[in-house]
Amino acid sequence: MAIDEYHGKQIKDPYRNLENLKDTTVVDWLKKQGKYASDLLKRIPNRQQLIDKQQSYDIKKEFSFFHSKTTADGKYFYTKTIGEEQIAKLYYRTSLNSEEILLYDPTLYSKKQEYSINYIKPDWVGDKIVISLSKKGEEASEMIIMEVATKKILPGVIKKCLPDIGGIQWLSDNSGFIYLYSPIIDPTNKDYWTNTQSILYTIGNTSKKLKDIFSIKNNPELNLKPADFPIINNHRVKDGYLFGVVGGVSSFYDTYYKSESEFDSNDKSWKLLFKESDKIKKYIVDNNNNLIFLSAKNAPNFQICKTSMNNPDFNNPEILVPEKKDLLITQFEITKDGLFFTTKKNGVESKLYYLEDEEREIILPKSAGDIYIGSKGPDNELLRVIVTGYLNPQTNYLYNVKDNSFKLEIFTPNVEYPDFENLVVDHVEVPSHDGVLIPVSIIKHKGIKKNGNNPTLFYGYGSYGGSGGVFFSPSFLSWTTTGGILVISHVRGGGQKGVEWHKAGQKTTKPNTWKDMIATTEYMIKEGYTSPEKSAIWGSSAGGILAGRAMTERPDLYKAVILTSPAMNMLRSEIQPNGQNSIKEFGTVKIKEEFEALLEMDSYHHIKEGVEYPATLVTGGMKDGRVVIWDPAKFVARLQASNAADTPVLFQVKFEDGHAAMNSTKIDRYEMYANVFSFALWQMGYPEYQPK
């Protein structure tokens, strides 16, 4: 048994041996756990019906769209699957209403491995496109370049790329592009994702094809840390700037800049534009060389401001849209017609506005839980408006401010889902342990009886200040086809109610995250919707902190607990590949107060012998570099040894998977949801879900 001492306190770690993934006995144990769990889950009778139901939704849609990009002159590039296809192909249209052209089939990339497209980026005029391809479960990718007109693949493959993190930025003259490179792509390596570099790839010039332009190595004067992601952004051709962002898990970043004309000179210096403390979320350079930006500095709910690029002043900017009292300002865009912005209330109700002499709300064709807006810059009239909700599939519009009209931007027919026609969403506020009101979304059938007998699945996240998003997912909603209720608690630690909401569930205040979920569960039980015998909780990734600590603090509240790629051993989080990056969010053991906070949010160290814990299903991937497999493995081993209840503790380890089914096929997604739902319903006692 390992014993560590932190600030005079000794902590026993009885399953430290599981951290050694080179030990064959550890690997064998993981294989046995994975096989046992998978075999048992497959024996649940109605599990396959849940898979078939999800597949029927996709088949009914005919097409499923994924990555999509458009050029300023209206060319469309996107990936999609047709019918039962598992791997999306790349397609192209010269305009919204033109004929669809198949550009690339990723199944042709390799005869030895299965690759899928995880990112695309056409150049500014759509003559060439970068296609990023990744193996199942892996986040690092390989990139190829295609000439669109001829479908010719240019010579060479660019390897060790992280476009999902750093994007791809074409230079203004389309002579090359910038991408994020990772020297180490093995997720089991402790240095995974460290010392990344922004690399310029020059097309057709073999003498200087790859050039490090922004990194800890190339820019020592910036004092970057190994865990920082040095990312380059350029927003449009005409603004003439490149922006160097010191990326990571923070909500805000130090950002540098230089003119693109200086870019290829020997001058390595970048000028500081703004600091992390300026709390700037988004920024655009307008045609008058002003920086328009969204900031939470002195405005926790954000405000839209303006300052000059020639002499920026972030302490006294011009305020274009002031902070709203009960609303978050979430996004903004500039078109030829002016400035548009969106707001969100309690993380679930979004609205769109246009700034003329005064703010004017634009009434949307349908109500929106989430709105995404995009433009091609101040010289273009296009405003793309994407609307979605828990019960509304994503709908894309092109908005014309002159006649206040919305035009559908769609390639597939609208699909109706009879299974969900009788559903409603109630948005309520639930008092937490300290009286703070927590926004909660309850998805249920109309007229459902409050008899305490409804199978209820609680879901939440509550980390990194993210709003979580309001999403339409037929797979997620398929829980309701069993008569169940879905409850999404917008707990503290997320960003649903601004910067202060994030701070209220971060580091030393992290207990609010799971206490908010506990209060949500108690509310649903008190209101008669459900009971502990019919309640399950699901947490994924950092949401594992929420679900794991809700379970260990109140094991009596839940019949089943599901944890996918969960962070369970927070005291050891910073030695994991993504750990140094996450110190800003969770803390470090080197600081006494933060060590105590990490210990408090560590579910592994809160398992007690002799306590009756609910049935638990844990999943993880051997290729996961965000939450290494040994993290949930230690939790599972300790829970299996300590649990006084006769409840199953399953550990479904998948050796070809990465983090939370990222870069996987549709069938993998179907199986993930089917496993979660069938496991919960099995534990809740439904006869058709009892393993045979």
Decide if pLDDT at 158 tops 80: yes
Q: How confident is the model at residue 413 (pLDDT cuts 50, 70, 90)?
A: low
At residue 391, the 3 state secondary structure works out as coil
Question: Can you spell out the DSSP letters for 541-607?
Answer: TTHHHHHHHHHHH-GGG-SEEEEES----GGGGGGSTTTGGGHHHH--TTSHHHHHHHHHT-SGGG-
Instruction: Tell me the C-alpha distance between 606 and 472, whole Å.
Output: 35
Classify residue 664 by its DSSP letter: -
The domain in which residue 477 lies consists of 2-55+417-689
Q: Which of 530, 377, 354, 355 is nearest to 442 (CA)?
A: 530
Q: What is the pLDDT of residues 641-689, one digit of tens each?
A: 999 999 999 999 998 888 877 767 889 999 999 999 999 999 999 999 9
Decide if pLDDT at 71 tops 60: yes
Instruction: Please name the amino acid found at residue 219.
Output: N
| Any domain includes 658 | yes
Q: What is the CATH number of the domain that holds 620?
A: 3.40.50.1820
Q: How far is CA 404 from CA 129, 323, 376, 495, in A?
A: 34, 26, 19, 31
- 674's enclosing H/E stretch is helix 666-683
Cα three-residue angle 255-256-262, rounded to 5 degrees:
155
Strand partners, 176: 202
Mean pLDDT computed over 451-466:
96
Classify residue 408 by its DSSP letter: E
Per the structure, how many domains does the chain have? 1
Within the chain, what is the greatest distance between any pair of CA atoms?
Answer: 73
**pLDDT value of residue 411:** 65
Q: What is the pLDDT of residues 560-608, one digit of tens each?
A: 999 999 999 999 999 998 888 899 999 999 999 999 999 999 999 999 9
Q: What is the pLDDT of residues 276-314, one digit of tens each?
A: 999 999 999 999 999 999 999 999 999 999 999 999 999
Handedness of CA 183, 189, 192, 194 (dihedral sign): negative
Instruction: Tell me the C-alpha distance between 621 and 631, whole Å.
Output: 11
Q: Side-chain half-sphere of 274: how many Cα atoms within 13 Å?
A: 25
Cα three-residue angle 444-449-451, rounded to 5 degrees:
120
Among the ranges given (308-322, 441-455, 518-532, 655-669), the one the predictor scored with the smallest mean pLDDT: 655-669
What pairing do the DSSP bridges indicate for beta strands 535-540 and 456-459? parallel
Q: How confident is the model at residue 266 (pLDDT cuts 50, 70, 90)?
A: low
E strands, 192-347, in order: 197-202, 210-215, 229-233, 241-247, 255-259, 271-274, 280-285, 290-295, 303-308, 318-321, 328-335, 338-345
Specify the pTM: 0.94
* More confidently predicted of 250 and 61: 250
Strand partners, 443: 425, 486
| Any domain includes 667 | yes
| Any domain includes 331 | no
Burial category of 668 from C-beta neighbours within 10 Å (exposed 0-12, middle 13-18, buried 19 and up): middle
Among the ranges given (32-41, 90-99, 201-210), the one the predictor scored with the smallest mean pLDDT: 201-210
Decide if pLDDT at 370 tops 70: yes
Contact 626, 565 (CB under 8 A): yes
**pLDDT value of residue 372:** 94
Q: How confident is the model at residue 365 (pLDDT cuts 50, 70, 90)?
A: very high
Instruction: Tell me the C-alpha distance between 19 and 23, whole Å.
Output: 9
Q: What is the pLDDT of residues 114-134, one digit of tens each?
A: 899 999 999 999 999 999 999
At residue 464, the 3 state secondary structure works out as coil
Strand partners, 153: 146
Q: How confident is the model at residue 463 (pLDDT cuts 50, 70, 90)?
A: very high
At residue 365, the 3 state secondary structure works out as coil
Strand partners, 144: 131
Q: How confident is the model at residue 267 (pLDDT cuts 50, 70, 90)?
A: low
Burial pattern 65-92, b for ≥16 Cβ within 10 A else e, equals: bebbbbbbebbbbbbbbeeeeebbbbbb
Q: How confident is the model at residue 82 (pLDDT cuts 50, 70, 90)?
A: confident
| Any domain includes 362 | no
Question: Can you spell out the DSSP letters for 149-182?
Answer: TTTEEPS--EEEE-HHHH-EEE-TTSSEEEEEE-
Instruction: Tell me the C-alpha distance between 640 and 658, whole Å.
Output: 24
* More confidently predicted of 268 and 571: 571
Q: What is the pLDDT of residues 505-514, one digit of tens each?
A: 999 999 999 9
| Any domain includes 445 | yes
**pLDDT value of residue 412:** 62
- Rounded to 10 degrees, the C-alpha dihedral 645/560/495/508 comes to 0
Contact 193, 576 (CB under 8 A): no
Decide if pLDDT at 273 tops 80: yes
Decide if pLDDT at 206 tops 70: no
354: tokens are 């246009």
**pLDDT value of residue 63:** 63
| Any domain includes 618 | yes
